[in-house]
Chains A and B, each alone.
Chain A
Amino acid sequence: GNSVTQMEGPVTLSEEAFLTINCTYTATGYPSLFWYVQYPGEGLQLLLKATKADDKGSNKGFEATYRKETTSFHLEKGSVQVSDSAVYFCALSLKTSYDKVIFGPGTSLSVIP
């Protein structure tokens, strides 16, 4: 079946540290891949996306590359800030009768000063 796996959290980093959150997927066909971010008390927001193999999505210093050969879409940021503390969800989208999106379980990130 179709699924998304993310590294378990919580992840705690010091400010200015390098961030990697691993995401791998299983899907039939050629999905689009997304990272969403959820700040405390809010809904999810689209952070970045990639629609085909080798595409790199980027936004707010975050980036992720669609790796078809390893079925991965790892999220990276070179220098995290306290304001990046949130839950990050990896997701894939399949074109069926509707835009079916499958979310990973989420990874909680805390950045300490």
Chain B
Amino acid sequence: NAGVTQTPKFQVLKTGQSMTLQCAQDMNHNSMYWYRQDPGMGLRLIYYSASEGTTDKGEVPNGYNVSRLNKREFSLRLESAAPSQTSVYFCASNQGRGYTFGSGTRLTVV
């Protein structure tokens, strides 16, 4: 089925550890996004990529880096995880008709 695939679905990290969240879409969309969702805060944009080869900061980029590896893939990296980064992370892609979201990665930093 066409869509956005995120891995892993769940992850527990210790403070200071690093990890990369993977995202891939097979709809040939130009734009891709990373959001975090926290209770009472709604969805907040971390980084976005308007097209292959470009990335830009969103609302809450501190502590994260991204890579737009090719048109399909957009990864999010936490270099040194902190408890404040405990959240549910969503990747999305868009081609002007509304977002398609992945199913999310639930990350806990202890």
The smallest beta-carbon distance between B97 and chain A, in angstroms, is: 8
Judged by a CB distance under 8 angstroms, whether A62 is at the interface is: no
Q: State whether A43 and B50 are in contact (beta carbons under 8 Å apart), knowing that A34-B98, A103-B42 are contacts in the complex.
A: no
A36 to B, closest residue via Cβ: B99
| Beta-carbon contact of A105 and B42 below 8 Å | yes
Q: State whether A46 and B43 are in contact (beta carbons under 8 Å apart), knowing that A98-B31, A98-B48, A98-B50 are contacts in the complex.
A: no
Question: Max chain A CB contacts within 10 Å: which of B50, B99, B101, B104?
Answer: B99
Residues of chain A with a CB closer than 8 A to B98's CB = 34, 46, 49, 93
Residues of chain B with a CB closer than 8 A to A99's CB = 31, 94, 96
| Beta-carbon contact of B103 and A43 below 8 Å | yes
- A-B pair count, CB < 8 Å, reads 43
B103 to A, closest residue via Cβ: A43
Q: State whether A43 and B104 are in contact (beta carbons under 8 Å apart), knowing that A36-B99, A101-B99 are contacts in the complex.
A: yes
Judged by a CB distance under 8 angstroms, whether A44 is at the interface is: yes
Instruction: Give how many A residues have a beta carbon under 8 Å from the other chain's beta carbons.
Output: 18
Residues of chain B with a CB closer than 8 A to A88's CB = none
Q: Mark B13-42, 1 if CB is under 8 A from A, else 0.
A: 000000000000000000100000000111
| Beta-carbon contact of A106 and B42 below 8 Å | yes
| Beta-carbon contact of B101 and A45 below 8 Å | yes
Judged by a CB distance under 8 angstroms, whether B90 is at the interface is: yes
What is B's interface to A at a CB cutoff of 8 Å?
A: 4, 31, 40-43, 48, 50, 56, 90, 92, 94, 96-104
